[in-house]
Chain A
Amino acid sequence: EVQLVESGGDLIQPGGSLRLSCAASGFTVSSSYMSWVRQAPGKGLEWVSIIYSDGDTYYTDSVKGRFTMSRDNSRNTLYLQMNSLRVDDTAVYYCARFWGHWGQGTLVTVSS
């Protein structure tokens, strides 16, 4: 059974850093394309980033240069390193595999 479990969300001050994790089971992260999608409180869904099986990564413009998506094949885990966090990065962050499987989400709150 495919399972995705996000963790790492927290309350953090503007300008701070956070690393989100997405632990996968039931499949191999390195053979899938995986995305991060976020949802600000009361708002719609916003695609953040994607990593393909070949390791290529792409980001939405608002996070380019601040966020880095990566994976650890030995741990079968996906990461999102978030630096220079802004108030408008506040959201629930979901990881998703092939769009068909999503985690439960982890809440990132950026506030002073």
Chain B
Amino acid sequence: DTVMTQTPLSLSVTPGQTASISCKASQSLLQTDGKSYLYWFVQKPGQSPQLLVHESSSRFSGVPDRFSGSGSGTDFTLKISRVEAEDVGIYHCMQGIHRPYTFGQGTKLEIK
């Protein structure tokens, strides 16, 4: 199975600062179409997961441009610029190319 490793597992950020989360896959997520099938979700307290970024760097509909995804192959990053109080939650990466699809452990974002 493809192991997804997220770092850090927790993050405390001052409002207005930038948060960065890394996700590394144990094998390449690059498909022959040139896309890396890496997804980022946020799960706010008591809620279902919400898609932020698909195919590594494409923001989902309605997601603020403060959220940006980058990376290809095995190394990926989610950056949250100008962090706001409403960004609190657990951020998950997921690979969607090798079955079984697998998630990272999750990164808990707190606001200072």
Contacts and interface: CB of A to CB of B under 8 A. Distances in A.
**Is A bound to B?**
yes
Interface of A: 35, 37, 44-47, 50, 58, 60-61, 94, 96, 99-105
B67 interface: no
Contacts, number: 46
Given A44-B106, A47-B103, A100-B54, A105 B48 contact: yes
Contacts of A60: 100
B15 interface: no
B48 A47 contact: no
A58 B51 CA distance: 22
A44 B105 CA distance: 6
B24 interface: no
Given A100-B60, A102-B49, A104-B48, A45 B54 contact: no
A58 B54 contact: no
B73 interface: no
Nearest to A63: B100
Contacts of B48: 94, 102-105
Contacts of A58: 99-100
A69 to B, nearest CB: 13
Nearest to A92: B48
Contacts of A102: 48-50
B49 A94 contact: yes
A47 B101 contact: yes
Nearest to B92: A45
Contacts of B49: 37, 45, 94, 96, 102
B100 A61 contact: yes
